[in-house]
Amino acid sequence: MKQVIHRKLSKNFLRSSLIILLAFTTVLSAQEGDPAKGKSLFNANCAACHQLDKKMTGPALRNVEQRLSNDEGLDRDWIHAWVRNSSGVIKSGDAYANKVYNEYGGAAMTAFPQLSDEDINNILAYTAEEKSAPAQNAAVAVTANSGSGSSSGVSNEIILGALAVLFILLALGLYLVNKTLRRFAVAQDIELPETAKRTPLWKAFVQNQFLMIVVAIFFLLSSAYFVYGYLSQVGVDQGYQPVQPIHFSHKIHAGDNGIDCKYCHSSARVSKTSGIPSLNVCMNCHKSIYEYNGETSPEYSKEFYDGEIQKLYAAAGWSDADQKYTGESKPVKWVRIHNLPDFAYFNHSQHVTVAGVECQTCHGPVEEMEVVYQHAPLTMGWCINCHRETNVSVKDNAYYEKIHEELSKKYGVDELTAAQMGGLECGKCHY
């Protein structure tokens, strides 16, 4: 009887142990979290104030759960309470919460009551991942390719140089052979036939009056053509590409990251000029983006881009270590690229807001430019051609209804170009 009872107790114990073990395993697996989901949640909720490996508005969060457990004896429940209501934890008198609050100048952390335990666990799983080694920069490959290209270029130069030397030696050999044969003929009293004297070609050409007149006319016309072409390029800076004091890649910002041109050049919507963005506009993003992450295709190395960001910090007076402004700012002497003469009037808002002209129409594919250059000639003829070819959008615009109706009858067309609406009048652009 005792053996039967012992067997039943053993079975019940094993069954209970198995159930507890499974439950414990389930809890652990639930607590581990999904790093991929955690990354999305981190970027959406935490990245504005936190980085994984660098102190910003808030502390660095790499292995935050392990550090809090080892250094402060705080568990995951404390983290859940802090994330959902940090102010409540501070008011409760929690020592570490008040320490962090005072350390960061009394800046309260935003509460996230909408995040579930699973969401927070996923974020913690993301922060617990080991830091990955930086990817190989594409510039290294570019450098390697350029190196191989230069080596092939050197070999081609060697071949061309050898052929040039061979040609010179051949010409020298023929000259020496000719000279030797002539000496031999003189020594053997061999008379060499004298060549008949001919009128030199240049002399015959000069003596022909018709050819001289044709050449004179040709040179006059050619000179006039080149002088006209040269004078037409005075003041035309198409292709101008200056080096700026701080390197700004439109390819990365407008192209890879898809930042709208009018976010930085906001005055293009409402004023005559597009404006130069203040450094505060740059710092809206670069307070958090303190290094190049290597996710786009760069033209330069990561060290180069990181150095340019440091130049921005120095100009804006931003201390990256202290995460605050020092007050010691300095102006950036940007070099102007697009410049119209003072007697030419151009209004950005009229073209961008009223006409709906895209920035690329005049400035070219800036989203592909690592260094911006003047894409269009910006000459009067170029502007006039645009006015002749561009139809004015009058849809849902009561201002243009009467004008459009009358001018449509005058020109016999359904759509009107800017030229037909007075876009070629001198006073439109010259005042």
pTM over 0.85: no
Domain C-terminal end among 128, 145, 176: 128
The dihedral of CA 102, 103, 108, 113: what is its sign?
negative
Tell whether the model's pLDDT for residue 11 goes beyond 70.
no
How confident is the model at residue 154, as a pLDDT? 61
pLDDT band for position 297 (50/70/90)? low
pLDDT in tens, 163-221: 999 999 999 999 999 888 888 888 887 877 776 677 788 888 888 899 999 999 999 99
Contact between residue 426 and residue 343 where contact means Cβ atoms under 8 Å apart? no
Number of helices (H), then strands (E), in the chain? 19, 2
Domain C-terminal end among 87, 109, 128: 128
Residue 370 resides in a domain: no
How confident is the model at residue 141, as a pLDDT? 42
* Percentage helix, strand, coil for the chain under 3-state DSSP, each rounded to 5: 60, 0, 40
Tell whether the model's pLDDT for residue 31 goes beyond 60.
no
Contact between residue 297 and residue 257 where contact means Cβ atoms under 8 Å apart? no
Residue 396 resides in a domain: yes
The helix/strand/coil state of 256 is helix
d(CA 363, CA 359): 6
How confident is the model at residue 22, as a pLDDT? 41
Tell whether the model's pLDDT for residue 255 goes beyond 70.
yes
Domain C-terminal end among 97, 128, 159: 128
Among residues 367, 334, 368, 379, the alpha carbon closest in space to that of 242 is found at 334
How confident is the model at residue 92, as a pLDDT? 87
Residue 171 resides in a domain: no
Indicate the residue type of 316. Answer: A
d(CA 133, CA 128): 15
pLDDT in tens, 52-98: 888 877 888 888 888 888 888 888 888 988 888 888 888 888 888 88
How confident is the model at residue 14, as a pLDDT? 44
Taking phi over 0 as left and psi of -120 to 50 as alpha, with beta for the rest, 412 belongs to left
What value does the mean pLDDT of the chain take? Answer: 83
Q: CATH code at 77?
A: 1.10.760.10
Q: Which residue has the higher pLDDT, 38 or 261?
A: 261
Domain boundaries, position 82: 35-128
Provide the greatest CA pair distance for the chain. Answer: 147
d(CA 370, CA 54): 28
Residue 197 resides in a domain: no
Residue 94 resides in a domain: yes
What is the distance, to the nearest Å, from the Cα of residue 232 to the centroid of all Cα atoms in its chain?
Answer: 33
Tell whether the model's pLDDT for residue 23 goes beyond 50.
no
How confident is the model at residue 315, as a pLDDT? 96
Tell whether the model's pLDDT for residue 151 goes beyond 70.
no
- Count of the separate structural domains present in the chain: 2
Residue 111 resides in a domain: yes
pLDDT in tens, 375-413: 999 999 999 999 999 888 777 767 677 787 888 888 888
d(CA 85, CA 104): 17
Q: Which residue has the higher pLDDT, 333 or 197?
A: 333
Tell whether the model's pLDDT for residue 15 goes beyond 70.
no
C-alpha torsion angle, residues 279, 281, 284, 289 (rounded to 10): -60
How confident is the model at residue 91, as a pLDDT? 86
How confident is the model at residue 2, as a pLDDT? 46
Q: Which residue has the higher pLDDT, 423 or 312?
A: 312
Across residues 361-372, what is the average pLDDT?
Answer: 95
State the residue for tokens 């969401």. 119
Residue 210 resides in a domain: no
Residue 240 resides in a domain: no
